[in-house]
Structures are given as structure tokens and as C-alpha cells.
Amino acid sequence: MSNYDVIIIGGGPGGYVCAIRCAQLGLKTACVEGRGALGGTCLNVGCIPSKALLHATELYHEATENFTKMGLMGKSPSVDFKKMLEYKQGVIDGNTQGIEFLFKKNKVDYLKGWGSIRSATEVMVDGELYHTKNIVIATGSEPSTLPGVDVDEKIVVTSTGALELPKVPKRMVVIGAGVIGLEMGSVYARLGSDVTVVEYLDVITPGMDADVAKQFQKILKKQGLKFVLGAAVQGVKSTKTKATVTYKLKKDESEASLDADVVLVATGRRPYTSGLGLEDVNIEVSERGQVKIDAHWQTNVKGIYAIGDVIEGPMLAHKAEDEGVAVAETIAGQAGHVNYDVIPGVVYTAPEVASVGMTEEQLKAEGRAYKVGKFPFLANGRAKANFATEGFVKLLADSATDRILGCHVIGPSAGDLIHEVCVAMEFGASAEDLARTCHAHPTFSEAMREAAMACGDGAIHA
């Protein structure tokens, strides 16, 4: 029996980051992972593989659409999907092995197997009992499917199966216009699939600033994605080669159906806690299955903490990572902290969509006095040169104090651009602070500055 200061259950972005930080702070640490590779959903079947496919298909699209416009002549590339999947697997392997290396470097013990909690100080892994002063639950989430929909990961798939299709489907129906549906839907649309997205609500990406969501849908439509909004999926019937999705339109209760070679179910994720033994130690969970925590990520059982997708809040790798660091620091006797008001969200489509802070709808609902500074990428020189003029930056600031309250970007490199506003918000900056910061020319980031200027006397180039 080994003795640890901390055992972390789950080796995803929350768990492995927490483990490394614990070790850095001098705690004897082990991380339990049962999937055979570190990195969790994000590295193995989520963020990283999907980004590899997004990157490859975006370059393919760039080559077929824009190369000749720039005088780059010659044969257009064709798609070898098998090879593309091999490239994706190589990216996964490189990253997961990187974490194993970091574990060794930081002297974190990697316990291979599925862990279960036996008591506040004991974790069982593969029949072996380990003793510990603290436990961190970082077991993440799993796809939550719909009643009447049986996933076989071949014809009816979740994001996991969508990353492993044997060939590019002719027709794909995506259920759910959330982040997964739109990222994977646009990958397959670029590869030539006829993609239809069926969404329950009347808008795509619920929760996103409405201006941005509207523009986003327009751009995706132009890229060939079809949308059926206000449609509740009733069920999916599948054979060995195809599937039929039936849905009911909310406006008139009429029923309709769509045939597809592959159906992607992207209707959200739920906390993953099965086999963890939460009931045995009486750890409280919410009605939605989320592990309940206090302000320091501690569950109702002293010494047992929880972070990431398994607790409340956005299911984002970087939110889990920040919580991992904060819990490690808390266990080490420091003041761990996460600023939940400044957590960026990015949709990695082309163009990217990124946001941080409050949306205009949230500000309205709270009756706040705010001003809006908007700047289109059409007026940005670099965007023009790069065929990336679709989209805009929208900055929201307090009317009285000029303090930045939120920012929403749809356009080139939005996922990178957003971070200057994250830093600004962390420092309590005003729109004028951003507007008075010199931004290099010619860069996309000038659009951020111009949106900040638009909150004041006005942008220069629009």
C-alpha cells in the first residue's frame, strides 16, 4: 500500500494539470487514468483531434478556393481521408506521450486503471488499494444522447465516432447546433458532405451573443451547411448503412424526416461518475449529476475535491485546468483562485468565434447601462489580404466607467485575439485603455483596438 498526499482520479486537462501543480508544490502525487492514455476526452477524442481535422480541411478549402486568386497555380489537392486520420492520430499520440513525459519529470505516479473511492483516504485501482490524504475527482464528462436515439458509433455517432469515420459520408445530419455539431459539421462540409444541422432552439449556439450567432449562421450557410431550427428530434432509425432522423417543428407541430449516411448526435455532455463509488462515501451530486462543491472545490466529504466537467460551469478544458491549479494550491495551503467572469469560449470553425465576459443580452437582462463598439474585419487591411474579411469585433463597456464588460469576435484568429481582452478584463481595464494601446500594423488585432475606439470617439477606419 502506497501513501500519497493527493490522488487525482482522471488524467484529462483538469486532472493532469492538477497533478503536475501538486507535484510542483511538493505534494506526493498520483494520477489515476483508465483509458490507456493521458489527456482525457480533450486530447484523445475531443479538442485536439478535432482541431487537427479542422486545420487540415481549412487548408484544403484555402487551396481549392483561394490559391488561384493569389496566383498560386497548379493541381488542387485531393483528399486521402485515411491519411488525414493518420495525421490526426499522430497529433494525439505526440500530445499524450508529452504528458507522460511531464509526469516523469515532475515525479507524478501514473496509476493505470479505473479508480474508485473507498473512503475519504482510500482509492482502489485495479484491485490495489492506495492511501492518500486528499482525493481530487476529475473524471470529466461523456456525451449525453437523446431518448429514442441509439448510438452505435458507426452510423449514429457522438463526437468520438465522428472523429473516426471510415469514409467521408455523402449526407450527414447533425443533431444540435452547439459547439461540437458546428465544428464537426463544418469539417465534413468542407470534405464534401451534404450537412444538415437540426436544432431544437430557434438560434444556433445558444448563449452566444445574438449578433454574433446571427452572423455565424449566415457564414456557415454560405459554406454549405443547412439548418433546420426550432425542430425537436423525435428519434433516429438506423440500418447498417443509413439512418433516418425524425423531428417535429415547434411552430406547427408538423413532423418531417431526413435521411443520412451518418448522424452526429451533439446534444450536450453529462458528468461522468459511473463506477467511481460516490454513493459509497456519500458524496452529494446535483439532479444533473454534477458533483456538488463548496467555494474551494471541496465536496461535502472533507479532503475530497472535484474539478472540471464533473462539476458545474462550462465544460471547457481551460476552465478545468484553472480549477486543477487552484485546487492544488488550496491543498498546499495557498489561496487557489479562478475568476469565473473571465473564461473565454472559442468555436474553432473558419472563421473562429470567440467570446469572453457578458453578452449584450445578459447586460440588457440585468438592466445595465452599456455601450457597444463594433468593428468589421472588412475594414482591416490584413484581413483583406488574407481573404478573411467576414465577421467583426464587438466590445461591450460600462456606459459610466468605460470598464470592459465583454467581447465577442467572429473572424480570423478570433480564438487568439480574444485573449488581449481577457488580460484587459483581469486588470479591470477600460475600453479607452485598449484603444490607447499601440497595436502592430498590419495585424488582425487592430480590429480589437478599433472596436475599443468605437466605444469612445469612434474607430478610425470605419
Interface residues with ligand NAI (CB under 6 A)?
Answer: 146, 175-181, 183, 198-201, 206, 232-233, 266-269, 314-316, 345-348
Residue with smaller CB distance to ligand NAI, 301 or 343: 343
The residue of the chain with the least Cβ separation from ligand NAI equals 178
Residue with smaller CB distance to ligand NAI, 193 or 389: 193
Nearest-angstrom CA–CA distance, 70 and 66? 7
Residue with smaller CB distance to ligand NAI, 158 or 298: 158
* Least distance (Å) between residue 402 CB and ligand NAI: 29
* Least distance (Å) between residue 250 CB and ligand NAI: 10
* Least distance (Å) between residue 44 CB and ligand NAI: 13
Please, is 133 exposed, middle or buried when counting C-beta atoms within 10 Å of its C-beta (0-12, 13-18, 19+)?
middle
Residue with smaller CB distance to ligand NAI, 177 or 383: 177
Residue with smaller CB distance to ligand NAI, 168 or 201: 201
* Least distance (Å) between residue 313 CB and ligand NAI: 10
* Least distance (Å) between residue 289 CB and ligand NAI: 14
Residue with smaller CB distance to ligand NAI, 118 or 214: 214
Examine the residue annotation and report whether 318 is marked as an active-site residue of this protein: no
Catalytic residue among 296, 337, 441, 461: 441
* Least distance (Å) between residue 137 CB and ligand NAI: 18
Q: List, by residue number, the catalytic residues.
A: 441
